Each structure stands twice: as structure tokens, then as C-alpha cells.
Amino acid sequence: METATERSWIELNIENLKHNVRILREAIPPACELMAVVKADAYGHGACATATVLNQMEITAFAVATVEEGIQLRKHGIRGEILILGYTDVKRVQDLQKYDLTQTLLDFAYARALNSRNAAVKTHIKIDTGMHRLGISGEEISAVRKVFEMKNLKICGIYTHLCCADSRLPEDIAFTRRQIDSFYRLTDALKNSGIQLPKLHIQSSCGFLNYPDLVCDYVRVGIALYGVSSVPDNEAVLQPALRPVLALKSRVVLIRFIGKGDSVGYGRTFVAGRDSRIAVIPVGYGDGFPGSLSGKNVSVLVNRQSVPVVGRICMDQLTVDITDAENVKVGDIVTLIGTEEEQNVSAPVVAQSAGSISNELLCRLGTRLPIVMK
């Protein structure tokens, strides 16, 4: 048994990742490029390993959340633009320069503070078109013009973020269209005032799948790159044939026989209604498999058979009822997220059962899980 798969592990299907890149490239406009979002360790997929594969496929634009994430990519040889989507202390301008990182300008005051460090740095201007989180207001055209005049800031891009692009409710579609119109009014005004526009980008995964007609230079593709939707029963306008890249796997390490009326785990939340066989699986919420799934009728796969999780999910292990399963033995592989032939436990379904979305579920998979490339 390989050391990496003795306990629990993340398994990445690299061919599925490459397939998703090809499918997405075919779907975006010819002049548009993919910007791969690899923040939060590439949504739990391993940022450096994933970005290396993407670099080999000639993807040369990446997005991260922090300066540390960008530095990690550079130290692993990742080439191309690396855009930091979030806050970086302006005192770290030397790191931005040293590692050739591109910083998002969070608002006008931040742009002015970064410019005052007297060090040339690449930037993208974030525009607030209604999400009201980060960015200069799309109505403050004069402020954006002034940013272009700041001598130490090289403006390489302008972008916004659509806050309800995943929704097909009429009111949310209308709001998204207002955001899009606000962004283009701003960029048109800049262009008309003689400013040469840098790279423009509006769409995240949901933004692209629901508004594929937009003309931009980048699509910031995150969750779609990894082949899953944020929620089950995705009703996006585009339905590309994407394939999940990640599987979460573990092993049966112990089988216990308990009698009718016996309980399993903390709080005695599961009491056997019959004589039962219980398998112990060494994975838990410390690995990122949510404890909130306890008691939610969640199942995992063992030997292509669906078996229910019973009792409370612990930090390091959980238990499943294998009474009705055949030929389960110690050492058998357990699939907690992923597919075994015709059986499937998808990330969106697992996440929904935990009261969350795939994005959160995947990016919280613990750092103690080794990653195995398939």
C-alpha cells in the first residue's frame, strides 16, 4: 500500500482537468483567455500541482486571493500573470515587485497608498458595480481616470464581479444586467476620454455560463475549471460537458459487530435497530469532511455500494453501516466524494447536505490530506 493512500487522500484526475480546459476554451469567444482561479489551494485541488498542468496547456493567467498564494506559485515555477484578488498590505510592495505579482486596487484610497510607496507595480482596477464589497464605484469615472495618472501603478486590467450571476430569477438577472451595463458605461467613458483600455474581465464561472455573450479579455474560471457546479441541479444557460477533477477517498480500517440497541459514537446519536456491522473510516471534519453532515442521511461508496454514514462525524474518523453491503473488508477503498462506476457521490450534493456549496466544501479539505495525481 502506498504511503500516500494508507489513510485518506485527495485523488486528482488530470485528464479530466485537461478535458475541462479544452471544453471551456471551445466555449469562450476566440479573443478571450481563461484566467484560472487557483486561490484556496485551487479549491482544495493543490494550487501548484494544478497550475503546473495549466501552464503546460499554455494557460498564463492566474488569480489568487493573497500575496502568499502568489509567491507560492512563483516559487514552484509558474509563469504568466498572477492577479491577487484580495487585500495586500502596501508595505509588501517589494514582494509584489520581486515575484512579479499583479495587485487588485481595492478602492481609490488604496490605489493612492500603493502609489505612494514609490515602487512600480502591476495592478488591475476593481470596479464596484453593485456588490459593494471591493472596488471603486462605477459611477466615479473621474476617480478611475486619476488612478491611470498615478505614476507608480501600471494598470494591466479593469474588472468587476457579478454578485448573483448564478441565479436565474428575473430580479437577479435584471440586477446582473445593471451591473454589466454599469461596467461598460465606465469603460466606454474611459475610452472616449482617450485612455487606452487594458484587459477587461467580468465573468466568473457562473458569470460565463449564464452570460456567455459578454465580450471580455478574460473569463475568471474557478469552480467550473474543476468540473463541478456550486449547487446541484445547475440550470445555467450553458451546460458544457465538464468532468469532476477531485475525488475524496479513504479506507476501511476496522469492522465492528454491534447488537440491536447498541450505540455508536459521541452522544449515542445512532442506536442500532438490528444487529449490525459498522465500518470505521479514518477521515473526519479535521480533513474537511463536514461534521454538519452528521445525521443528514449522507452515504459513501464502498465497492460500488452506497452505505450510510451513522453517528457523529468526528475530527479524524467516521462510521458507516455496512450491514446490507456485500464483501466489505478491512483495506477496501471508500469514496466520500467522487464516482465508482455507475455510483456517484457528487460534491454539490454533499455540500448541499452540509448547508453549503461545492466551493466551500472543496477548499476546506484539510491540508493533512495528501494529493495523488491520477
Residues marked active site are found at 39, 266
What is the DSSP secondary-structure string of 201-237? E---HHHHHH-TT---SEEEESGGGGT--SSSS---S
Distances 202 to 71, 194, 208 between C-alpha atoms, Å? 25, 22, 9
Distances 234 to 146, 166, 210, 357 between C-alpha atoms, Å? 41, 9, 11, 12
* CB contact at 8 A, 205 and 39: no
Q: State the Cα–Cα distance between residues 239 and 105, nearest whole angstrom.
A: 33
Q: State the Cα–Cα distance between residues 197 and 184, nearest whole angstrom.
A: 11
169: helix, coil or strand? coil
Q: State the Cα–Cα distance between residues 166 and 176, nearest whole angstrom.
A: 10
Distances 221 to 30, 163, 306, 356, 366 between C-alpha atoms, Å? 16, 15, 32, 20, 23
Distances 319 to 144, 323, 355 between C-alpha atoms, Å? 56, 12, 21
Cell of 288: 474537511
* CB contact at 8 A, 321 and 267: no
Greatest alpha-carbon span in the chain: 80
Across 247-273, b (16+ Cβ under 10 Å) vs e yields bbbbbbbeeeebeeeeebbeeeebebe
Distances 11 to 244, 245, 346 between C-alpha atoms, Å? 11, 8, 14
